[in-house]
Amino acid sequence: MGEFDEATAVAARDDGGWRGTLAEGWDINGVPNGGYLLSLVAAGLRESAGRPDPLTVSMHFLRPSAPGVVDLDVHPGRQGARHATVAGTARQGETAVAQAVATFTDLSTAGDPHRVDLEPPELPDPGECVQRRGLASSGIGQKVELRLHPHDTGFVTRDPSGDPLVRGWARLADGRPVDTLALLLLADAFPPAVFNAGLPVAWVPTVQLTVHIRARPAPGWVRGRFRTRAVTGGYLEEDGELWDAAGDLVAQSRQLAVVPRPR
Amino acid sequence: MGEFDEATAVAARDDGGWRGTLAEGWDINGVPNGGYLLSLVAAGLRESAGRPDPLTVSMHFLRPSAPGVVDLDVHPGRQGARHATVAGTARQGETAVAQAVATFTDLSTAGDPHRVDLEPPELPDPGECVQRRGLASSGIGQKVELRLHPHDTGFVTRDPSGDPLVRGWARLADGRPVDTLALLLLADAFPPAVFNAGLPVAWVPTVQLTVHIRARPAPGWVRGRFRTRAVTGGYLEEDGELWDAAGDLVAQSRQLAVVPRPR
């Protein structure tokens, strides 16, 4: 039992919905991290689904949330033989903050065939990477320990690489193992790749985030690679991959975020 | 007014929901195409949102649908200044067939900054590509005219390229212009890229499909590129891009699909 479990605990309501609490300390400048909100909502929907692993989770962010109680209204989908799908609307008081659909399954048995035309990122050892824990102006930096590739940390000193790419190691700071639920957190815990593009972009609120869980992760550090390929029309996409210590692809993420117009 | 408009028409129900009809002839082997179902559901949610353009649409497919009436139960999200988000559960009778969340906006005014690290696919002229209209064993092949890159059609003759890639031109067969709603259709209208991988994969039912609309398309043919990078654990992901006749990126898609275990 770790901090992540406490922070994603949910209690049943009488009407089939769930209630949890967005804990203090998982924020970026006071706003709970998007991956953390996703994890809490998925924890509730997972109870409705009755399956152990999120397989694919889609969330649309409606407005910034705040630490405190979150109610999750559940919209039943299907309980099938292999998959269970359920949708939900997350509210704080009467104010909707996010809407999600999630499909759950049991990932304990993998299937064939296998072909992965991607490689895990090449990273220096964690000790030779740049530690973000305690450096970020945010609580989430205390909960998720990041060790970033030195090539990808130029944005911190206003010397971006020019390449909208962020790679690094990640784990939960308290040592709680990363499971398929915690992968949802890690899928949105790295600094935005666009910060290294050299564009006038200071913050990028997420509109939509989809995470596909591809396998249960082996114990140990998770490696992440996040890249933005298209900044256009006032929005950007960021694609991410998470790899486990055994070198297996364990999650793919994609988000669409607003690129606020420079003021 | 074209066939696509008729096939995605919705009527208001008294309770805030919508009712439409999955028309005959937009199917693959009798099952309405996923992109078509997505378009019909998005057409209903768009009415609830009151904004002209889908910006980002997430759909989870619960079971195969069938031609006939579809009811869309609406789960209200938020009407904001820039975005409106709404969720929905699509039912046929009492049976849920899909759940979706969609965010709508007005894409008539684009924003800065601009950086796209992707290129439209290089394609021979449409006349030198392989016409799929009328060739596919499906109705959708009559509604969407595809001209595929000759390199990418080997799967048709059981001579796949080995490269899980499908590129080609697309337009609506009746000449109806492609708008942001029809991009949702085209995002799932190409043959699966995995068919060119040379793996024992005969069909790939979609579990989840997200489409991000990046711009309103210029008139003319749309170019598509779809690639699968990870077949693992009984699932595959397929990423797609759609480009308009002006060479601009107009949509990005990603889907997770089941890879049925060979029998």
Using the beta-carbon criterion (under 8 Å), do A77 and B83 form an inter-chain contact? no
pLDDT in tens, A153-170: 999 888 999 999 999 999
- The answer, yes or no, to whether residue B184 has pLDDT greater than 60, is yes
Q: Categorise residue B246: left if φ over 0, alpha if ψ from -120 to 50, beta otherwise.
A: alpha
Low-confidence ranges of chain A (pLDDT < 50): 134-135
Of A63, A212, A259, the CB nearest to B256: A212
Percent of chain B with pLDDT over 90: 87
pLDDT, averaged across chain B: 94
Q: Which one, of B71, B58, B55, lies nearest residue B22 by Cα?
A: B71
In angstroms, rounded to a whole number, what is the distance separating the alpha carbons of residues B244 and B233?
A: 35
Are A87 and B107 an interchain contact pair (Cβ–Cβ within 8 Å)?
Answer: no
Residue of B nearest to A200 (CA): B113
Average pLDDT over residues B67-85: 97
Give the pLDDT score at A262: 62
Q: Is ipTM beyond 0.95?
A: yes
Specify whether the CB–CB gap between A251 and A214 falls below 8 A.
yes
Q: Does B127 score more than 60 pLDDT? A: yes
Whose structure tokens read 């016409």? B131
Residue A123 and residue A168 in contact, taking contact as beta carbons nearer than 8 Å: yes
- Residue B261's pLDDT band, with cuts at 50, 70 and 90, is low
State the pLDDT confidence band at B135, using cuts at 50, 70 and 90.
very low
Under an 8 A CB cutoff, do A56 and B107 touch?
no
User: Inter-chain contact B231–A114, Cβ cutoff 8 Å?
Assistant: yes
Look at residue A180 in the predicted model and tell me its pLDDT: 98
pLDDT number for residue A141: 85
Predicted confidence (pLDDT) per residue in A87-140, tens digit: 999 999 999 999 999 999 999 987 778 999 999 999 999 999 998 754 456 788
The whole-number pLDDT of residue A134 equals 45
Name the residue among B203, B214, B13, B55 with its Cα closest to residue A61. Answer: B55
Query: What pLDDT does residue A133 have?
Result: 53
- How many residues are recorded in chain B? 263
Question: What is the mean pLDDT of the segment spanning B229-238?
Answer: 96
Say what the pTM is: 0.97
In the prediction, which pLDDT does B109 show?
A: 81
Residues 6+ positions from B32 with CB-CB distance below 8 Å? B22, B26, B65, B66, B67
